[in-house]
């Protein structure tokens, strides 16, 4: 598929991150084909992308001299054909990522960078899912992707120089800066941040403090911009549990095992901002 405005970026997964990455590309004039297996997620994504584009413009995060790109939403991965690059932002489960990456690798041109936004699964594990492992590279966009201009780029042991160079060029065209790190479970940011969020949830579960108190202390005493529990709600508690589980499974480090307080929220369907409720109440679902 080509969008009316030409060569596109393919984004797989229309959840929290797929939407933010789509907004980033559109805001910089790059058309996007956004693929999800869930039609309802695509419908929600169209609304959310429009909202984020307005917010990006207000925040000065969208170049004023460029017309926004066009987005096409689809449930068929075949529509990714012809993409300049693919960003995979599907659910943080190995089976979902293996399926999505394997399917898209078959429809794009050889040499197209396959970029995974995984939070914790090593790039080299995912490289086994694609026919040309050198094309796979990690780009750990942060949330909200359309406002955060630094991206943790993860180079797997089999990632080709060309894939890293093309990713850096793409990020540059999107006004993003890259910090390239070596492949490892959770890389730098998840490995440091996720156990903190897990412990913050545990403190609330044990009744040591409320979510508000934990966040207040971390902001007021330690200079965090948002508290850990507001951050967890923004990430999505289901995604946080999946990322922690991926880290725990691959490192055996006990502090990564998702704690009962987080698991209970997920069982109750309180997934954070995206479901309208997590450690805080947001009134209504946004994505």
Ligand X SMILES: NC(=O)c1ccc[n+]([C@@H]2O[C@H](COP(=O)([O-])OP(=O)(O)OC[C@H]3O[C@@H](n4cnc5c(N)ncnc54)[C@H](O)[C@@H]3O)[C@@H](O)[C@H]2O)c1
What would the x/- binding string for ligand X be over residues 3 to 32, using CB under 6 A?
---------xxxxxxx--------------
Among 3, 23, 143, 159, binds ligand X (CB under 6 A): 143
Among 100, 127, 163, 229, binds ligand X (CB under 6 A): 100
Q: DSSP per residue over 88-155, as a string? A: E---S-HHHHHHHHHHHHTTSPTT--EEE--SSS-HHHHHTTSS-GGGEEEEE--SSTTT--EEEEEE
Which of 29/90 has CB closer to ligand X? 90
**Listed ranges 116-124, 155-163, 207-215, 216-224: which one lies at the site for ligand X (CB under 6 A):** 116-124
Question: Of residues 9, 71, 90, 241, which one binds ligand X by CB under 6 A?
Answer: 90
For residue 65, count other CB atoms closer than 10 A to its CB.
5
At residue 10, the 3 state secondary structure works out as strand
CA-closest candidate to residue 269, choices 228, 238, 230, 229: 238
Catalytic, 194? Answer no
CB 183, CB 123: distance < 8 Å: yes
Q: Give 271's Cβ-side CA count (13 Å radius).
A: 14
DSSP string, 153-188: EEE-TT--HHHHHHHHHHHHHTT-EEEEEE--TTTT
Shortest separation between residue 196's beta carbon and ligand X, angstroms: 14
Instruction: Check 8, 140, 194, 248 and give the catalytic one.
Output: 140
Smallest distance, ligand X to C-beta of residue 64, A: 27
Which residue number, 14 or 49, has a Cβ lying nearer to ligand X?
14
Token pair recorded at residue 138: 């990690």
Tell the smallest beta-carbon distance from residue 208 to ligand X (Å). Answer: 25
Please state the φ and ψ torsions of residue 284, each to the nearest 5 degrees. Answer: -145, 160
Check binding of 89 to ligand X (CB under 6 A).
Answer: yes
Residue 92 found at the interface with ligand X (CB under 6 A): yes
Stretch that binds ligand X, among 34-42, 175-183, 200-208, 249-257 (CB under 6 A): 34-42
Binding status of residue 266 toward ligand X by CB under 6 A: no
Q: Per rule CB under 6 A, is residue 38 in the interface with ligand X?
A: yes
Residue with smaller CB distance to ligand X, 62 or 89: 89
Least distance from ligand X to the Cβ atom of residue 133, Å: 19
109 half-sphere exposure, CB direction, 13 A CA radius: 10
Q: Which stretch binds ligand X (CB under 6 A): 1-9, 54-62, 112-120, 252-260?
A: 112-120
Query: ω before 55 within 30° of 0 (cis)?
Result: no
Instruction: Give yes or no for a contact between 27 and 125, defined as CB atoms under 8 angstroms apart.
Output: no
Count of chain residues binding ligand X (CB under 6 A): 30
Which residues contact ligand X by CB under 6 A? Answer: 12-18, 35-38, 41, 89-92, 96, 99-100, 117-119, 140-143, 235-236, 239, 243
Instruction: Please identify every residue annotated as catalytic.
Output: 140
């Amino acid at each position: 598929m080509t969008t009316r405005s030409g060569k596109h970026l393919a984004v797989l997964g229309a959840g929290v991150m797929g939407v933010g990455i789509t907004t980033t590309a559109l805001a910089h004039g790059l058309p996007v084909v956004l693929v999800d297996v869930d039609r309802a997620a695509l419908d929600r994504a169209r609304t959310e992308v429009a909202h984020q584009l307005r917010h990006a413009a207000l925040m000065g995060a969208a170049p004023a001299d460029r017309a926004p790109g066009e987005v096409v939403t689809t449930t068929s991965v075949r529509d990714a054909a012809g993409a300049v690059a693919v960003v995979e932002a599907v659910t943080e489960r190995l089976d979902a990522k293996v399926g999505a990456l394997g399917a898209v690798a078959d429809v794009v041109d050889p040499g197209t960078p396959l970029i995974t936004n995984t939070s914790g699964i090593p790039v080299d594990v995912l490289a086994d899912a694609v026919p040309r492992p050198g094309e796979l590279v990690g780009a750990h966009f942060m949330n909200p992707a359309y406002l955060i201009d630094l991206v943790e780029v993860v180079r797997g042991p089999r990632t080709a120089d060309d894939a890293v160079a093309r990713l850096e060029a793409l990020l540059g065209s999107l006004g993003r800066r890259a910090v390239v790190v070596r492949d490892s479970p959770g890389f730098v940011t998840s490995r440091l941040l996720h156990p903190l969020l897990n412990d913050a949830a545990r403190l609330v579960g044990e009744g040591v403090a409320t979510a508000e108190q934990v966040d207040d202390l971390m902001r007021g005493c330690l200079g965090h911009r948002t508290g850990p529990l507001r951050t967890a709600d923004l990430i999505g508690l289901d995604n946080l549990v999946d990322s922690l589980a991926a880290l725990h499974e691959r490192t055996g480090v006990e502090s990564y095992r998702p704690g009962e307080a987080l698991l209970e929220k997920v069982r109750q369907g309180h997934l954070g901002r995206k479901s309208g409720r997590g450690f805080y109440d947001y009134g209504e679902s946004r994505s």
